[in-house]
Amino acid sequence: MTREPGQPPAADRPHDETTRPPRVVLGVSGGIAAYKACELLRRLTESGHDVTVVPTAAALEFVGAPTWSALSGKPVSAQVWDSVHEVPHVRIGQQADLVVVAPATADLLAKAAHGLADDLLTNTLLTARCPVVFAPAMHTEMWEHPATQANVATLRERGALVVEPAEGRLTGADTGKGRFPGPSEIFEVARAVLSRAGAANLLDLAGRRVVVSAGGTREPLDPVRFLGNRSSGLQGYALARTAAARGAEVTLVAANVTLPDPAGVKVVRVETTAQLRDAVLSAAATADAVVMAAAPADYRPVTVSEAKIKKAEDGSAPTIELAQNPDILAELSHDRLRAGQVVVGFAAETGDDAGGVLDHALAKLARKGCDLLVVNDVGGGKVFGAADNEAVVLDAAGRQTAVPHGSKTALAQVVWDRVVAALETA
């Protein structure tokens, strides 16, 4: 199944009444994070997915079958011997549009990598011909063990998406890498994968390193005030999330964003434009693509007051001298840090007496020198903070691809489609 450039992915287009809901198998293995999968299940069912839960016997020690059955609306079993006449160990995998194993323990990853089939879930994994997503959760030592890393590499080579675990509090007092990503973020990964059902290569960014910037920088005036903008970071986070769902190793440089970390993404937090520049250039040195979706402040105060600036009793306003910030996008575009690197910029524009939105965008494209420029009309406060977006994607020759109004995830997928095409011809 293919779609025209600029057309939203299937999961973001309206369905008619006869459209079958996507069939998702939620595999749950025996880790303490099994209880978090209940929230993932709730999100999947409430968004209209037909979900079959397949827990392991160990998972049922953490969360019982009645809970999974009540949340999914279906009977739940871990055994191949239940309802044998329906051949569940074959049919469940054959009929699935997506299999998500969350959490995936070290034991489950090992069984999947070696093709073992000693329960209903591992049988399902062998019979599934749809995309498979693993969301690992375990102690740091188990995740970093060479055996686990080899199993993960094997699964990735076979086309599975293995989401990098998060860093943070683990069982007990331990802290480190191996934490189960937020259920809402695993849900978004599942949606992103399903939205590209039928694509020739679902993991077309596998083996690629990409950098995405998001949010808006702040330039301090004093300890409590700053110059900034209204960027929410939503579009940048959608870009990072969808790149990870397409198999990329993603570094997200986030400027003053309070959103939850996307699953499988390394997040670097910054505040000022100078910090954003340093973080992006550092990560871009080894990146195949850089997408500058952040909104850096164009100017910064020449001096920053160490004390709060007090209101003058005579009503006069302070004079603030500004200096221009570095142009990160232009620097990346003109001084490519890696051969064949694709650089994408974003332009939030409004029309004025000097020209329309696209007039200003074409001038910016020529000035910046990037490979692609995503143009947003932000007149009247549009786009910032909204869940939806629409844009025009310009390439270096000025050719235009209009992306109709839809989710920011849909726009992100179109951007990555164009990036992949550019990387293949670089």
What residues are annotated to the active site? 229
Asked whether the beta carbons of 110 and 151 are under 8 A apart, the reply is yes
Q: Are 37 and 64 in contact (CB under 8 A)?
A: no
In three-state secondary structure terms, 188 is helix
- Asked if 409 and 195 touch (Cβ cutoff 8 Å), the reply is yes
CA dist 128 and 110 (Å) reads: 17
Cα(304)–Cα(224) distance, integer angstroms: 11
What percent of the residues of the chain are helix, what percent strand, and what percent coil, each to the nearest 5?
Answer: 35, 25, 40
Place of tokens 């683990």: 170
* All residues at 6 or more sequence positions from 38 whose CB lies less than 8 Å from its CB, including other chains: 63, 67, 68, 71
Q: Distance of CA 169 to CAs 139, 173, 189, 209, Å?
A: 10, 7, 22, 27
Element (H, E) at 6: none
Q: Which residue, chain included where needed, has tokens 């001096």? A: 303
State whether residue 106 is helix, strand or coil. helix
Query: What does the DSSP 8-state code read for residue 288?
Result: S
Pairing of strands 289-292, 342-349: parallel
Structure tokens, 38: 């209940």
Q: How far is it, in rounded angstroms, from Cα 373 to Cα 419?
A: 11
Please tell me the distance from the alpha carbon of residue 301 to that of residue 190, in angstroms, as a whole number. 44
Name which of 74, 14, 65, 66 is nearest 44 in CA terms. 74
For residue 34 the two structure tokens come to 């099994």
Phi, psi angle pair for 39, to nearest 5°: -70, -40
Report d(CA 26, CA 134) in Å as an integer: 10
6, 394 Cβ separation under 8 angstroms: no
